[in-house]
Structures are given as structure tokens and as C-alpha cells.
């Protein structure tokens, strides 16, 4: 009688064998990578000259026309400084996404809109900063604030300060902005409640209120 042949290798047997071979290759590759990493670079990087900040530092921020001394860490964002390091806290600048995606923290830096969550406070020394608190007051609303109230251009309100600031920056730089320009300038601000039609109506009303009067008056 013929000798029985060995059973054919099963899928499990092949998988284990393949796995062991692959694992061995990965381990060898890891050892090689470690060796390469341990070797000195052919051209070492030179340290760049400059001041290195560490720990708490005290800086002066020009905010809404007033000087504020603020103690921050080098990593502190303008958003965090406004809400937690300045007295009184400027909480009109909203912390929503903290990733530069929504525009709720929009401020004006030297006349241009910017996301406060994407700026380091220490980088803004000597720059002119404006927040929604610096645009008007309850007793004396700015044209943009008044237009937002007139058109009920808000729902939950979290995005509203950012839209007000961005609209102000747009109309101050482009007083004759048409609707297409306004929409483009506000495209970095998101309203999850969907009040865009009222926001754009408010922006156009504010544009008319802010337009230079004929005859220079």
C-alpha cells in the first residue's frame, strides 16, 4: 500500500508562515532604521539666532484703543488671552472650533479680519487689535451691530460676534462692496443655524449706513 501523502497545507498554516516571514522583515527593517537614526547627519542643522521665550512673559497689547499688560505663555493664543488673561475678559470673541474653521473668534488686526484662535498673543505686540467689544456699546451700537439687530440676523448667537467683526472689516476696507464681495469676504465665517440671508441683508443695510455722504458731510 502506498504511503499516505502529507496533508496539503491549510490556509491557517500558510497565514502563520507568511506572518512570521513578514514580522521578521519588519523587525529587521526597524533595526536598520534605528541604526540610521543613531548615525550623525552629514550636515548638522545650525541653531538659528534669536530670542527664545519660555515660561510666563508679560507683553503689552493695543486692544480697542487701550494698552493692556498681559501675562501669557509663548504658546497662548490671542483667543485664550482675550478670554482668560485680560481683565475684564473679552468674551465676545467666541471659542467654538479652536481650529480656524468657523470664524466665531474673528478679530480685526491692523484693519484686516483674522482668527484669534490661530494667532499667538506674543506675535501681536505693536499691532492694533479690535474685538466686537470695541465696535460699539449697548447705548451706541455701530452701524453693523444695529443692522444685525434690525434684520434679526442671528439665532443661537455664537457665530454673531464673528460675523459682525468680519462685516465691519469688509465694509471699512471696501465701503462700496457689492453683495458678491460681501459674501466672499464673509465666506470664512460659518452659521450653523442658517441665517445667511438675514446676515447678508444686514451687511447691505450697514453698507448704506456707512457710505460716505455726498458733499463730504
The pLDDT assigned to 4 comes to 52
Picking from 87, 107, 134, the residue at the C-terminal end of a domain is 134
Within a domain: residue 188?
A: yes
Taken as a whole, the chain contains a residue count of 217
Give the whole-angstrom CA distance, residue 189 versus residue 10: 60
pLDDT at residue number 17: 54
DSSP state of 74: T
Are residues 182 and 123 part of one domain?
no
Q: Is residue 189 part of a domain?
A: yes
Let me know whether 140 and 207 are in one domain: yes
Residue 14 lies in a domain: no
Last residue of a domain, one of 92, 118, 134: 134
Domain that includes residue 197, residue range = 136-212
- What pLDDT is attached to residue 212? 80
Residue-level pLDDT at 213: 75
Q: What is the DSSP string of 154-213?
A: -SS-SSHHHHHHHHHHHHHH-TT--HHHHHHHTTT---TT--HHHHHHHHHHHHHHHSPP
CATH of the domain at 94: 3.10.20.30
Report the pLDDT value the prediction gives residue 15, as an integer from 0 to 100: 52
Does 68 lie in the same domain as 89? yes
Residue 202 belongs to a domain: yes
Tens-of-pLDDT digits for all 217 residues of the chain? 555 555 544 444 445 555 445 555 544 444 434 443 444 444 443 434 456 667 899 999 999 999 999 999 999 999 999 999 999 999 999 999 999 999 999 999 999 999 999 999 999 999 999 999 999 999 999 999 999 999 999 999 999 999 999 999 999 999 999 999 999 999 999 999 999 999 999 999 999 999 887 665 5
**Count of structural domains within the chain:** 2
Asked if residue 193 and residue 153 are part of one domain, the reply reads: yes
Please identify, among 134, 149, 176, the residue that sits at the C-terminal boundary of a domain: 134
According to the model, what pLDDT value does residue 201 have?
A: 98
Is 57 in contact with 121 (CB distance < 8 Å)?
A: no
Q: What is the pLDDT of residue 141?
A: 97
Residue 62 sits in the same domain as residue 112: yes
Question: Does 86 reside within a domain?
Answer: yes
| Claim to verify: residue 62 and residue 130 sit in the same structural domain | yes
Whether residues 69 and 107 share a domain: the answer is yes
Amino acid at each position: 500500500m502506498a504511503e499516505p501523502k502529507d496533508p496539503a497545507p491549510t490556509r491557517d498554516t500558510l497565514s502563520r508562515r507568511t506572518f512570521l516571514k513578514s514580522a521578521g522583515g519588519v523587525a529587521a527593517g526597524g533595526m536598520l532604521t534605528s541604526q540610521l537614526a543613531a548615525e550623525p547627519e552629514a550636515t548638522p542643522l545650525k541653531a538659528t539666532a534669536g530670542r527664545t521665550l519660555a515660561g510666563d512673559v508679560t507683553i503689552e497689547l493695543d486692544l480697542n484703543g487701550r494698552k493692556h499688560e498681559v501675562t501669557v505663555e509663548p504658546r497662548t493664543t490671542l483667543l485664550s488671552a482675550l478670554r482668560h488673561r485680560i481683565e475684564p475678559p473679552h468674551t465676545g470673541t467666541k471659542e467654538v472650533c479652536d481650529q480656524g474653521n468657523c470664524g466665531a473668534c474673528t478679530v480685526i488686526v491692523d484693519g484686516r479680519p483674522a482668527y484669534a484662535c490661530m494667532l499667538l498673543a506674543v506675535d501681536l505686540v505693536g499691532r492694533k487689535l479690535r474685538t466686537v467689544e470695541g465696535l460699539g456699546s449697548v447705548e451706541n451700537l455701530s452701524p453693523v451691530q444695529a443692522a444685525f439687530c434690525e434684520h434679526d440676523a442671528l439665532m443661537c448667537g455664537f457665530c454673531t460676534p464673528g460675523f459682525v467683526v468680519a462685516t465691519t472689516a469688509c465694509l471699512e476696507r471696501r465701503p462700496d462692496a457689492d453683495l458678491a464681495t460681501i459674501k466672499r469676504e464673509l465666506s470664512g465665517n460659518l452659521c450653523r443655524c442658517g441665517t445667511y440671508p438675514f446676515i447678508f441683508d444686514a451687511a447691505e443695510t450697514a453698507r448704506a449706513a456707512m457710505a460716505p455722504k455726498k458733499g463730504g458731510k
